[in-house]
Structures are given as C-alpha cells and as structure tokens.
C-alpha cells in the first residue's frame, strides 16, 4: 500500500458524491427493502446524530445523499412497519462485524485504532472462516460480504435467521465463533489417538478457530489465567498445530496448563467479531457504496472475496489525485 489512510476533506467528500458515487452501487438487498429500513447520517464527523430517516425509493435516497454529501451514512439491519419511528419491528439481518482495529490476535504493528494491510488481510481471513461455518454448518445461503472501510460486515438475509431473537443470535454467534469449549474428550488432543479422529460439527468449528487463534497469538496478548511462561511455551510449540498434532502439542504444554490455555482461547475466539453487533436487533451499519471519511475508503459490497483487495477495490478516485 502506498498511500495513507487519512481523513477525507470536505472538498474530497464533495468530489466523491458528485463524481463517483452512484445510487446503483447500493446493494439490491437494501434497495429492495428501502421503505422498511431506518437510515442514519453523520453530517460533520460527530457520530450518526441524524437518525430515523426514511426514503420512499432509490431516487429519494439519491437526491438526499447527493445534496448532503454525508461524512458517514448508515442503514438499519432491521425492517420496520414504521421505520421513521423504529416501531413495528419485523425482522433483522444477522450480522457479524469484524473490525480490523479490534481483532484480539493482530500480528501487525498497528497502534490502537489504526489499521494496515496486514490486519485488514487478517480480517478477511476471519470473514472467510465465518462464511464457511454459516454455509457449511448452518446451511445459510443468502450471505453478503461487505467491506466496511476498516473491516468487514457479514450480512445474512436467510429468512430462517432474520426473525431470530437476541438470545437465539447469541447462541448462533457462540457456535460460529467457537466461543465455548466443547464438552467432548476426543477433540483437541484430549485423546492421544487424536490423529485418527476427525472432529465434525461444533468440535470441528472449535478446533479450527482455536488453531487460528493460537497460531496468531503474540507475546503482547493478555489471556485470562495464562501467564507469560505459558504464552511463551504455546508460541514455541504451536508449529505442531499446523499439522493438527493436538495430542503432541498438549503433551508439550502439559494437561493442566493445556486446559487453562484452551479455556482462554475460547474467549479470544469470541472476541474475533463484535458480538454486541450480532445480538442488536436495531443496529445501524455503514451503508455500502458510501464513504468512510475517517480513512477515505469506500464501503463496498464484495462480489468475489477471494480476489477482493480493499487497496484496489475500495479506494475512491480522489485519493489517487492527492499530492
């Protein structure tokens, strides 16, 4: 990456909305339900204070955004009978919010609140893992991936999950992110014959996330009940996990410390996405196609995640014209 993630000026925002932004870039899954959604806007960088906005169609939304050129634009995950009052809640998308600056196992040198190509790439890996569990384990199909400007949103619109309560969403999140140690003795090397056991279902999800988390730990991480020595030993022996040799890894660490480590790792797994967002039935999320003015990037609906690169696909034209 050869440019800075710096804020957009008032003039750059104006250029963007005048010359580059098109209402046609707002995803269909939003325009199809535009009249039932609440919109929110931040006009001056102080937060989304202009809420309860509604639009009767694409043209209406286009006129508003073209004339206001907002600092930030948001749309509700919820559908309402009366979105202008946030009344008559009908259903809401199921969302996973992976913000690169909040990943607990970042391996980059970013300071607090910053993002770089390394942690943004990690956010993408995480999103792919979330998508695979949603598809493979939960059989969900209507999964939309959005680049948010500093991370990714997974937005699920399958009818099966859209009417789920907060509690049901919390259970789904716990499964998808592997937030709980499975109550089974034959996973993660509890059985010394681990090589012959292929975990499936939740234990498989748990094994996969825990492997990812452990492989990305750094000595900077602070884990519950894991002291510096245990963290160091974990990092020293984790190469074994690249070949899924959990039994050998457990032997190196020792069974009691291993149990402590795995408990702590389950909490790391849970914090990989912002779970508050997933259980909030009335959340507003950044509107895809609009500008993230703090970093001068475009929130973008992703057509092909494998080839998506935010530094190619989510950079507004004005950034290239900066001196």
By beta-carbon proximity to Zn ion, the closer residue of 60 and 101 is 101
Q: Is there a catalytic annotation at residue 244?
A: no
User: What's 54's DSSP letter?
Assistant: -
* CA-atom Rg of the chain in angstroms: 21
By beta-carbon proximity to Zn ion, the closer residue of 110 and 277 is 110
d(CA 265, CA 272): 11
**107-146 positions binding Zn ion, by CB under 5 A:** 108, 110, 116, 118-119
User: x/- binding map, residues 74-113, to Zn ion, per CB under 5 A?
Assistant: ----------------------------------x-x---
Q: Is there a catalytic annotation at residue 99?
A: yes
By beta-carbon proximity to Zn ion, the closer residue of 119 and 262 is 119
Alpha-carbon torsion angle 174, 93, 290, 57, nearest 10: 180
Q: Is there a catalytic annotation at residue 183?
A: no
Q: How far is the CB of 103 from Zn ion (least distance, A)?
A: 9
φ and ψ at 250, to 5 degrees? -65, -40
Strand ranges (E), the chain: 39-42, 50-53, 72-76, 78-82, 87-92, 94-99, 143-147, 151-156, 284-286, 291-292, 297-298, 300-301
By beta-carbon proximity to Zn ion, the closer residue of 159 and 312 is 312
**SS3 of 98, please?**
strand
Q: What is the largest CA-CA distance in the chain?
A: 66
Q: How far is the CB of 224 from Zn ion (least distance, A)?
A: 24
| β partners of residue 79 | 91
**Total residues contacting Zn ion (rule CB under 5 A)?**
5
> Which tokens go with 247?
């039994």
φ and ψ at 110, to 5 degrees? -60, 140
**Residue of 233, 274, 280, 309 marked active site:** 274
d(CA 76, CA 78): 5
By beta-carbon proximity to Zn ion, the closer residue of 116 and 162 is 116
Q: How far is the CB of 216 from Zn ion (least distance, A)?
A: 12
The residues that are catalytic are 97, 99, 274
Residues at the contact surface with Zn ion, assessed by CB under 5 A: 108, 110, 116, 118-119
């Amino acid at each position: 990456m050869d440019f800075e993630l710096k804020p957009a000026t008032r003039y750059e925002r104006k250029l963007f909305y005048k010359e580059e932004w098109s209402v046609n870039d707002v995803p269909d899954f939003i325009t199809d339900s535009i009249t039932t959604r609440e919109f929110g806007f931040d006009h001056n960088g102080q937060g989304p204070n202009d809420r309860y906005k509604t639009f009767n169609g694409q043209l209406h939304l286009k006129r508003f955004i073209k004339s206001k050129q907002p600092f930030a634009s948001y749309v509700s995950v919820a559908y309402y009978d009366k979105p202008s009052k946030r009344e008559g809640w009908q259903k809401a998308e199921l969302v996973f919010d992976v913000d690169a600056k909040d990943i607990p196992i970042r391996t980059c040198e970013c300071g607090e609140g910053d993002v770089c190509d390394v942690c943004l790439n990690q956010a993408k890996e995480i999103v792919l893992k979330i998508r695979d569990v949603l598809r493979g384990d939960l059989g969900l199909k209507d999964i939309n991936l959005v680049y948010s400007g500093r991370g990714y949103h997974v937005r699920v619109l399958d009818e099966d999950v859209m009417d789920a309560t907060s509690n049901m969403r919390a259970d789904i999140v716990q499964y998808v992110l592997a937030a709980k140690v499975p109550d089974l003795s034959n996973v993660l090397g509890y059985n010394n014959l681990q090589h012959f056991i292929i975990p499936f279902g939740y234990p498989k999800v748990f094994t996969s996330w825990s492997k990812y988390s452990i492989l990305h730990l750094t000595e900077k991480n602070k884990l519950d009940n894991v002291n510096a020595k245990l963290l160091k030993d974990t990092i020293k022996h984790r190469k074994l996990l690249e070949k899924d040799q959990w039994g050998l890894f457990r032997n190196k660490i020792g069974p009691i410390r291993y149990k402590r480590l795995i408990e702590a790792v389950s909490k790391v797994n849970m914090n990989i996405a912002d779970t508050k967002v997933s259980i909030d039935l009335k959340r507003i999320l950044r509107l895809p196609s609009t500008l993230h003015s703090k970093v001068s990037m475009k929130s973008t609906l992703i057509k092909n995640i494998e080839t998506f690169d935010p530094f190619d696909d989510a950079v507004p034209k004005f950034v290239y014209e900066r001196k």
